[in-house]
Amino acid sequence: MPTSASELVGWADTLLQGVLLGGLYALFAMGLSLAFGVMRLVNIAHGDLIVLASFAAIALGLGTGWGPLAAFLVIVPAMAALGYALQRLMLNRTLGGDALPPLLVTFGLSIVVQNGLLEAFSADPRGLGAGGLETASIRLTSGIAVGWLPLIVFAVAAAITLGLERTFGRTRYGRAFRAASDDPVTAELMGMSHRHVYALAMAVSLAIVAAAGIFLAMRTTVAPSDGPGYLLYAFEAVIIGGMGSFWGTWAGGIILGVVQGVGFRLDPGWGILAGHLACLAVLLIRPRGLFPRTRG
Amino acid sequence: MSPLLETRALTAFYGDFQALFGIDFEIDAGEVVAIVGANSAGKSTFLGAVCGLLRVSASQVLLDGDPVGGLPAHRIAAQGIALVPEGRRLFPSLTVEENLLAGGYLGRSGEWNLDRVYALFPALRARRRAFPEALSGGEQQMTAIGRALMANPRLLACDEISLGLAPVVVRDLYASLGDVARAGLSIIVVEQDVSLAQRVSHRLYCFQEGRVSLVGVSLSLTRAEISHAYFGV
């Protein structure tokens, strides 16, 4: 029966595109998961920093005519430096006591970034030209084609997740991240300046944010007020996956992408809502997420 | 020649509450010095002040004659003072071996490495992949001491390592510390058990309400002198 066969191909395509979109969501979520895991810091400005990176890449392209590769080489280190400075000069002062001060400060930062972008770039959505990469695709079968860009984003997200797991599990700095997270005072006694360690963690977080923001601008258009929406996706991915595990966060992003894709297929108005409902369902059924870190 | 570590009229505060009232203390290279005293006599506060966990002024703590008071704890650690904190304070999400490696974070050169720690505490080698919560109290304390040794310190400060442990375990721990001391490391031992403190140390300080109430060569001090200094009666 040709109808059901094409139906089947259609569903396979939906799932595949959802998985690839999930790669981008995993990138959104990874920096948030990292900052929460190391510093118990919930960064409300996370989504706005993604959009900031998008606009930085767009501005660099407009100003110099360089392509997206140059954007990565310039903006990833720049955002990492921003992250170090932000943590060292501002966010470290909010940590250690109540959970509220870091929330309030990053909420304020979110407003500052949004309005700064609005002032500098107006409210118009903009995108980043990727020299044809954004539309290039590989045809798998008659009904299914895979875009090169989503494929690259997916691969980068997987590589970053693997890199974070390895770094945290096996290296001197990874042990310092975990030790400073467990007990900053005792970590100081081992010679780890927890302020420095936290600032390094935020530098890594914003380096990943930079990559996410540049990919986002290549994939679609962004506007200065889009940040909170991306923060929400990142939160949902972290909640679905479970706190404290990078592969969990990665899987959470993929699941969110697939659920949104399935929702869109059922009804074009339902995609985003389906993602929110999936997140709520996980909170109800498994409040610690699907893949919480198990230890000991 | 100046002592390895010296404090001069060391004072320390928790907010408005004064915990130390002018402590004069010194320890030479290769010496084992015990500090005894009742609860809240200021023993742990003293170690915290020396290790940079409390704000003190520079000239109140001298290492090799150089003022180090008031430096942040991670800078003091880099100068070669390692603390085994009260209650062990192991990192719960790190395995035994990772806790030990975290102790060696600064990479100071010296004789201590994983193999040496496992040779000192053979029980830990079998538990190297276990998390601290799965260990016995004695094993946890071995890990905490091993973690401090991994820093290759010049001075090891041990805060009540016998707390909550069976006497036979305490004896073994101090036997191991004795081996470490004979290899030439300077050790400050804070203890509640006076006779144990006397046995393991060269010199002994008794603290009372934030002041030094007695100091002398451990084995020449009498029971009566110490209990007078300890309780103030």
**Non-local CB neighbours of B205 within 8 Å, separated by 6+ positions:** B25, B33, B34, B35, B36, B212, B214, B215
pLDDT(B203) > 70: yes
pLDDT tens by residue, A237-263: 999 998 778 999 999 999 999 999 999
Whether residue A179 and residue B91 make contact (CB cut-off 8 A), yes or no, is yes
At residue B38, the 3 state secondary structure works out as coil
Q: Among A183, A193, A296, whose Cβ lies nearest the Cβ of B91?
A: A183
Whether A179 has its CB under 8 Å from any CB of chain B: the answer is: yes
Q: Among A172, A178, A296, whose Cβ lies nearest the Cβ of B91?
A: A178
- Which of B182, B192, B214, B179 lies closest to B43, judged by CA? B192
Separation CA B17–CA B20 (nearest Å): 9
Q: Among B53, B74, B147, whose Cβ lies nearest the Cβ of A193?
A: B74
Is B10 in contact with B22 (CB distance < 8 Å)?
yes
pLDDT(B7) > 80: yes
Structure tokens at A51: 């959009």
Q: Give how far B176 is from chain A: nearest CA, Å.
A: 21
Which of A 145-174 lie inside 8 A of B, CB atoms?
Answer: 172
Separation CA B44–CA B24 (nearest Å): 15
pLDDT tens by residue, B122-159: 999 999 999 999 999 999 999 999 999 999 999 999 99
In this prediction, residue A2 has a pLDDT band, given cuts at 50, 70 and 90, of: low
Partners of residue A191 in chain B, C-beta under 8 Å: 74, 77-78, 105-106, 151
Separation CA B158–CA B51 (nearest Å): 12
Domains of chain A: 17-121+148-285 (1.10.3470)
Could you identify the residue written with the tokens 């893949």? A291
Which range among A95-99, A151-155, A266-270 shows the weakest confidence by mean pLDDT? A95-99
At residue A102, the 3 state secondary structure works out as helix
pTM for the full predicted model: 0.91
Whether A186 has its CB under 8 Å from any CB of chain B: the answer is: yes
Q: Give how far A174 is from chain B: nearest CA, Å.
A: 10
**Between these two residues, B20 and A295, which has the higher pLDDT value?**
B20
Partners of residue A192 in chain B, C-beta under 8 Å: 74, 102, 105
Nearest 5°: CA angle at B164, between B76 and B200? 60
In this prediction, residue A294 has a pLDDT band, given cuts at 50, 70 and 90, of: low
Count CB atoms within 10 A of the CB of residue B86: 17
Chain A residue with Cα closest to B75: A191
The residue type at B76: I
Q: In the prediction, which pLDDT does A7 show?
A: 85
Q: Give how far A132 is from chain B: nearest CA, Å.
A: 46
Strand partners, B6: B26, B62
pLDDT(A18) > 60: yes
Residue B77 to residues B9, B10, B72, B156, B219, Cα–Cα distance (Å): 22, 19, 9, 11, 31
Partners of residue B151 in chain A, C-beta under 8 Å: 190-191
Count CB atoms within 10 A of the CB of residue A4: 8
Alpha helices in B10-87 (DSSP H): 43-50, 73-78
Q: Give how far B221 is from chain A: nearest CA, Å.
A: 33
Average pLDDT, chain B: 94
Q: In the prediction, which pLDDT does A174 show?
A: 94
Structure tokens at B126: 């079998």
Q: What is the mean pLDDT of residues A54-83?
A: 94
Q: Give how far A275 is from chain B: nearest CA, Å.
A: 32
Strands B5-14 and B155-159, bridge-based pairing: unpaired
Size of chain B in residues = 233
Q: In the prediction, which pLDDT does A129 show?
A: 83
The residue type at A225: S
Q: What is the mean pLDDT of residues A105-117?
A: 97
Which range among A13-27, A141-155, A246-260 shows the weakest confidence by mean pLDDT? A141-155
- Which of B28, B106, B34, B88 lies closest to B62, judged by CA? B28
Is A185 in contact with A209 (CB distance < 8 Å)?
no
pLDDT(A295) > 50: no
Separation CA A114–CA A255 (nearest Å): 28
Quick one: angle between helices A172-182 and B96-103, nearest 10?
Answer: 100
**Between these two residues, A3 and A165, which has the higher pLDDT value?**
A165
Q: In the prediction, which pLDDT does B233 show?
A: 66
pLDDT tens by residue, A155-173: 999 999 999 999 999 999 9
Could you identify the residue written with the tokens 């944010």? A209
pLDDT tens by residue, B34-72: 999 988 899 999 999 999 999 999 999 999 999 999 999
Separation CA B74–CA B51 (nearest Å): 9
Q: In the prediction, which pLDDT does A212 show?
A: 97
pLDDT(A186) > 70: yes
Partners of residue A187 in chain B, C-beta under 8 Å: 91, 102
What percentage of chain A carries pLDDT values higher than 90? 78
Average pLDDT, chain A: 92
In this prediction, residue B92 has a pLDDT band, given cuts at 50, 70 and 90, of: very high
Q: Cα B127 vs. chain centroid, distance in angstroms?
A: 24
Domains of chain B: 5-231 (3.40.50.300)
Partners of residue A193 in chain B, C-beta under 8 Å: 72, 74
- Which of B205, B202, B218 lies closest to B46, judged by CA? B205
pLDDT(A296) > 70: no
Which of B 131-160 lie inside 8 A of A, CB atoms?
Answer: 131, 133-134, 147, 151
Whether residue A175 and residue B98 make contact (CB cut-off 8 A), yes or no, is yes
At residue B130, the 3 state secondary structure works out as coil
pLDDT tens by residue, A23-58: 999 999 999 999 999 998 999 999 999 999 999 999
Q: Among B89, B106, B133, whose Cβ lies nearest the Cβ of A191?
A: B106
